[in-house]
């Protein structure tokens, strides 16, 4: 059975048929010049034995990936995330061209991973691989392929393109905080935003979206309930469900934020121009402040303040679970993976502390035993 519809790009035809198990199968084609051309296409598909199923299975990998992300992802992800899917699409098209989905083997896919990973970081190749794996699982559910060619693939990547977490040490954080606090002006809010990032580890979008209702001065907490999409210029939901959280904050930060109440704006960081400073504006101000503090950090940016917050908490001995909840991660594994470099650094420090503790334990135990023997003999 065929149905026809006129669209902005031409005629679209959808051919439907139920298989032996009663499951509906469909294949469609868009951009046909005339309705007659659409009818001819439908007749060609219907004339074939199992025509709909055969047509579905004759899909190019790149075209199926586009169909998949536009159908299942486009309307449910942020604009920033959608750009990653579009990038993955262009990479697939560049490498595989018109290669059919059914023709791709594990060896073909491993060759693709080797090719793309040669000049990209672990994070980048993992993201592209994640997109493709989800797409392939969907293709299996659609009965287009029977085997998952992404299984047991070795991810290859270039360590030179893998950036280490950049952060400020305790001395540098103190320098930056003091520099900011001695030059605050409630008309210009970029410095307040930088201070908030240092003290809370919040993402830039979360800070930009803060309203006064989100700050509880009595309980000393900030509730993160939304984010600002500085690409799409609109308020949106938090990055993930777990990003919706309430965190404890200190008096120092609250006293500074209290100054901004005089501006009488809805959003905490609206400035004298009635706007919240952009990503470019706060990054420019951050670079100026670092230079004034004599802190040299190539490529340091606003998100690096989140890394600095984590580094400081680890330095203070705060448990990874607590840090993970504060950052809005869904589980500790995400935090450990994201901040592996920092965790390893402080693990080494912790290992030394354990070694010293064990050494002290043996000394203490020996002294206690001596005391006990003396006590018994004295009786």
Span of 80-89, 184-193, 339-348 with lowest mean pLDDT: 339-348
Band of the pLDDT at 371, cuts 50, 70, 90? low
191: Cα within 13 Å, side-chain hemisphere: 19
Give the C-alpha separation, 319 to 326, whole Å.
11
Which of these ranges, 43-52, 61-70, 82-91, 155-164, has the smallest mean pLDDT? 43-52
Percent of the chain scored above 70 by pLDDT? 87
User: CA dist 111 to 24, 105, 177, 355, Å?
Assistant: 35, 10, 49, 46
pLDDT of residue 40: 76
Measured in residues, the chain has a length of 379
Q: Is 42 in contact with 13 (CB distance < 8 Å)? A: yes
Higher-scoring residue by pLDDT: 285, 44? 285
**DSSP sequence for 320-341:** HHHHHHHHT-SSHHHHHHHTHH
| Helix spans in 165-292 (H) | 170-181, 190-200, 204-208, 251-258, 279-292
* Separation of CA 152 from chain center: 24
Query: Given this model, what pLDDT does residue 90 score?
Result: 96
Tell me: pLDDT of 199 over 50.
Answer: yes
**CB contact at 8 A, 249 and 202:** no
- CB proximity list for 87: less than 8 A, separation 6 or greater: 128
Question: What stretches of 21-163 show up as alpha helix (H) in DSSP?
Answer: 35-47, 51-57, 61-72, 79-96, 106-117, 122-141
Of 296, 327, 297, the C-alpha closest to 310 is 327
CA angle 161–99–90, rounded 5-degree value = 40
Contact call for residues 307 and 166 (beta carbons, < 8 A)? yes
260/267 Cα distance (integer angstroms): 10
Closest C-alpha among 319, 317, 298 to residue 170:
317
Crossing angle between the packed helical segments 304-315 and 320-327, to the nearest 10 degrees: 150
Contacts of 104 (CB under 8 A, 6+ apart): 61, 96, 149
pLDDT band at 360 (very low <50, low <70, confident <90, very high): confident
Two structure tokens written together for 97: 């061209």
How big is the CA angle at 236 (ends 225 and 162), to the nearest 5 degrees? 95
Model confidence pLDDT, tens digit, residues 143-152: 888 899 999 9
pLDDT, residue 85, reads: 96
Q: How confident is the model at residue 91 (pLDDT cuts 50, 70, 90)?
A: very high
Using CA atoms, how far residue 3 sits from 20, 25, 54, 144, in Å, is 21, 14, 18, 22
State whether the Cα torsion 316-318-319-325 is positive or negative: negative
Q: What's the rounded Cα separation, in Å, for the pair 356 and 359?
A: 5
Partners of residue 223 on adjacent β-strands:
246
C-alpha distances out from residue 121 to 91, 116, 124, 145, 304, Å: 15, 10, 5, 30, 18
What is the pLDDT averaged over residues 208-218?
96
> Residues near 112 by Cβ (< 8 Å), separated by ≥ 6?
95, 96
- State the burial class of residue 208 (Cβ atoms within 10 Å of its Cβ: 0-12, 13-18, 19+): buried
Mean pLDDT check: name the lowest of 7-21, 174-188, 213-227: 7-21
Q: What are the backbone angles phi and psi of residue 28, rounded to the nearest 5°? A: -135, 160
Looking at residue 22, its pLDDT comes to: 64
Q: Which among 200, 202, 180, 174 is positioned nearest to 192, based on CA atoms?
A: 180
């Amino acid at each position: 059975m065929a149905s026809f519809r006129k669209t902005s790009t031409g005629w679209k035809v959808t051919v439907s048929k139920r298989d032996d198990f009663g499951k509906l199968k469909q294949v469609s084609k868009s951009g046909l010049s005339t309705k007659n051309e659409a009818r001819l296409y439908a007749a060609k598909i219907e004339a074939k034995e199992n025509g709909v199923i055969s047509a579905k299975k004759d899909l190019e990998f790149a075209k199926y990936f586009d169909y998949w992300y536009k159908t299942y992802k486009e309307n449910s992800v942020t604009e920033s995330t959608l750009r990653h899917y579009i990038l993955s699409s262009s990479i697939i098209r560049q490498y595989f061209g018109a290669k059919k989905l059914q023709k791709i083997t594990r060896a073909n896919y491993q060759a693709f991973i080797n090719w793309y990973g040669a000049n990209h970081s672990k994070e980048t190749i993992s993201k592209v691989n994640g997109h493709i794996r989800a797409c392939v699982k969907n293709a299996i559910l659609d009965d287009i392929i029977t085997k998952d060619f992404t299984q047991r693939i070795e991810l290859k990547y270039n360590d030179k393109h893998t950036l280490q977490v950049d952060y400020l040490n305790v001395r540098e954080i103190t320098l930056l905080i003091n520099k900011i606090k001695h030059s605050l002006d409630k008309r210009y809010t970029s410095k307040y935003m930088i201070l908030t990032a240092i003290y809370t580890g919040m993402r830039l979008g979360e800070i930009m979206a803060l309203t006064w209702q989100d700050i509880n001065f009595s309980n000393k907490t900030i509730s993160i309930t939304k984010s600002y999409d500085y690409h799409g210029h609109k308020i949106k939901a938090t990055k993930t469900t777990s990003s919706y959280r309430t965190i404890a904050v200190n008096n120092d930060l609250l006293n500074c934020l209290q100054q901004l109440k005089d501006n009488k704006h809805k959003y905490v960081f609206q400035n004298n121009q009635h706007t919240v400073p952009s990503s470019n504006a706060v990054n420019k101000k951050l670079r100026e402040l670092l230079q004034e503090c004599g802190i040299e950090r190539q490529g340091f940016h606003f998100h690096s303040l989140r890394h600095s917050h984590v580094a400081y908490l680890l330095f203070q001995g705060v448990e990874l679970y607590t840090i993970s909840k504060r950052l809005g991660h869904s589980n500790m594994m995400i935090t450990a993976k994201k901040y592996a470099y920092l965790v390893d650094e402080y693990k080494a420090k912790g290992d030394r502390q354990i070694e010293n503790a064990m050494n002290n334990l043996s000394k203490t135990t020996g002294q206690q035993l001596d005391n006990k023997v003396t006590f018994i003999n004295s009786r």
